Amino acid sequence: MGIGYFILLGAIALVSFIVSSRLQSKFNHYSKVHLRNGMSGAEIAQQMLNDNGIYDVKVISTPGRLTDHYNPVDKTVNLSEAVYNQRNAAAAAVAAHEVGHAVQHATAYSMLRFRSKMVPVVSISSRLSGMLIIGGLVLGAASNIGFGYYIAILGLAMMAIATLFSFITLPVEYDASNRALKWLKQNNMLTSQEYSGAEDSLKWAARTYVVAALGALANLLYFAFLVFGRRD
């Protein structure tokens, strides 16, 4: 499995690079499709919040590129500087998507709630899993006792939690995009050309999460092979 794993990992890395590059290209392209309504990303976000009856969430600007996110702790829709200020199809798509997460939060969307509850555990498990697996395998090989094996199993369980988190992220992201596109269409916020650009942008953004989840799964399977293969 060793060679096969590295071939698989290389393939996933290649696909990830292609998808990321394609996403950047799409956003650059649709950033040139200016909105006829003249609304900025911040204004789009605020309008979508108002239309959903959400008045306790603030729309703020955050430094960086593609750093957009919704923070359920302080109830803020954080838009990167370009998205916050620009008035194009890409900015509209990102802004509406992030508000989609705010709508999920306001309506107690089950998958978002489950994902949020996992965050504290995942933040710990993602840091420790690799060290526990490698440390357990080294200890087991050096001492020839089962204690190291159980440490490695613990690390593997932590890695499995992080992998599950990656897959739970998928429906959360796709649902936020669907909410965004539905609102943009129902409220005639965009022309047909602008809407197509927003839809295409979100489609490629979602694919980055799919690739990340597959990469996490491949990593988990490889380490599972290392741990359980040592017992043969």
Question: What pLDDT digit, counting tens, does each position of 189-204 carry?
Answer: 999 999 999 999 999 9
Q: Are 32 and 76 in contact (CB under 8 A)?
A: no
Burial environment of residue 216 by CB neighbours within 10 A (0 to 12, 13 to 18, 19 or more): buried
Strand partners, 80: 62
3-state SS class at 89: helix
pLDDT score of 84 more than 90: yes
pLDDT score of 230 more than 60: no
pLDDT score of 63 more than 80: yes
Exactly one of 43, 81, 98, 199 is catalytic; which is it?
A: 98
Q: Which two tokens stand for residue 87?
A: 């008035």
Average pLDDT over residues 160-173: 96
What local confidence, expressed as pLDDT, does residue 225 receive?
Answer: 86
- CA 91 from centroid of its chain's CA atoms: 18
pLDDT score of 123 more than 60: yes
The 8-class DSSP code of residue 59 comes to E
Give Cα separations from 140 to 12, 125, 148 (angstroms). 31, 21, 4
Q: For tokens 């600007």, what's the residue?
A: 61
Q: Are 100 and 81 in contact (CB under 8 A)?
A: no
Percent of the chain with pLDDT over 90: 69
pLDDT score of 231 more than 60: no
Interior angle at CA 68, CA 67 and CA 71, nearest 5: 115
Q: Which two tokens stand for residue 112?
A: 């978002």
Interior angle at CA 216, CA 212 and CA 220, nearest 5: 170
Picking from 65, 23, 15, the residue whose alpha carbon sits closest to that of residue 213 is 15
Helices 2-30 & 192-229 angle (0-180, nearest 10) = 160
pLDDT band of residue 99 (cuts 50, 70, 90) is very high
What local confidence, expressed as pLDDT, does residue 145 receive?
Answer: 58
Average pLDDT over residues 13-42: 89
What local confidence, expressed as pLDDT, does residue 137 receive?
Answer: 87
Average pLDDT over residues 153-182: 96
- CA 118 from centroid of its chain's CA atoms: 14
Q: For tokens 């979100």, what's the residue?
A: 202
Examine the residue annotation and report whether 43 is marked as an active-site residue of this protein: no
Q: Which two tokens stand for residue 29?
A: 């392209």
pLDDT band of residue 25 (cuts 50, 70, 90) is confident
Q: What is the pTM of this model?
A: 0.87
What local confidence, expressed as pLDDT, does residue 161 receive?
Answer: 96
Average pLDDT over residues 84-95: 95
